[in-house]
Amino acid sequence: MNGAAWRDLAILTLKDPAQAARDLLALQLGRNVLWLAFALAVVLNTGAQVLSDMMLSNLTGELPVLALPPMAYAGFFTGAILLFVSVLSFVGPKMGGSGRFNDVFVLIIWLQYLRFVLELLVLVLLLAAPVFGALIAIAGSLVGLYIMVHFIDQAHRLNSLGQSVLLLLVSIIAMAVVLYFFLSLAGGPIVGNATFV
């Protein structure tokens, strides 16, 4: 696929996310290609986040409270995306889905490229028209959620947007449980520690 084809796919994703998902799944990309695409997506989104921090620092005179080093951002993006894909791939079949890891992976990777483009657009708008940029960021998040629901539906062949929403909610809860478990192991029992504060 050339640049024009990817541009057309991006437009199709906004107009008809279900068809865009079917087109992406039909590519049947190999595991090696997916991992390379994923690595590039992480690098691009890390760069966009670091650039965002730098721009906000120049505007406000100080770094954002949650600003992190580039490697920390890269690690966070990598872990969060892989965890989300893994949970969706595991929970999906339990709720009537039939998607494989690669099916979910390719769609979530594509969403990361769209996220990168949106973030660059928002950064430019924040410099020229901050209020408009903030509105675009909010609108982009809502549209992204809409696309995500359709992508989950297509990845798992659910044929039900309602069930896709439920699967998304269950996956988010499962992710929270997994993160709580690992944080508890890393920091000790949270409740027990609170006793000694």
**Would you say residue 189 has pLDDT above 70?**
no
Q: What is the pLDDT of residue 100?
A: 93
Kindly report, residue by residue over 98-132, the tens digit of the pLDDT: 989 999 999 999 999 999 999 999 888 878 887 88
User: How many CB atoms within 10 Å of residue 89?
Assistant: 20
Q: How confident is the model at residue 197, as a pLDDT?
A: 41
**Reported confidence tier of residue 193, pLDDT bands at 50, 70, 90:** very low
Query: What does the DSSP assignment read for the chain?
Result: --HHHHHHHHHHHHH-HHHHHHHHHHT---HHHHHHHHHHHHHHHHHHHHHHHHHHHHHHSS--TT---HHHHHHHHHHHHHHHHHHHHHHHHHTT----HHHHHHHHHHHHHHHHHHHHHHHHHHHH-HHHHHHHHHHHHHHHHHHHHHHHHHHTT---HHHHHHHHHHHHHHHHHHHHHHHHHHH--HHHHHHT-
The tens digit of pLDDT for each residue in 54-72 reads 877 766 666 555 667 889 9
What's the pLDDT at 179? 83
Mean pLDDT of 42-58: 86
Model pLDDT for residues 126-179, shown as the tens digit of each residue: 788 878 888 998 999 999 999 999 999 999 999 999 999 999 999 999 998 888
Structure token pair of residue 45: 């989104």
Domain boundaries, the chain: 3-188
Provide mean pLDDT across the span 19-30. Answer: 95
CB burial of residue 94 (10 Å; 0-12, 13-18, 19+): exposed
pLDDT band at 186, cuts 50/70/90? low
> Rounded to whole angstroms, what are the CA distances from 39 to 48, 120, 121, 169, 194?
14, 19, 22, 26, 39
- pTM for this prediction: 0.86
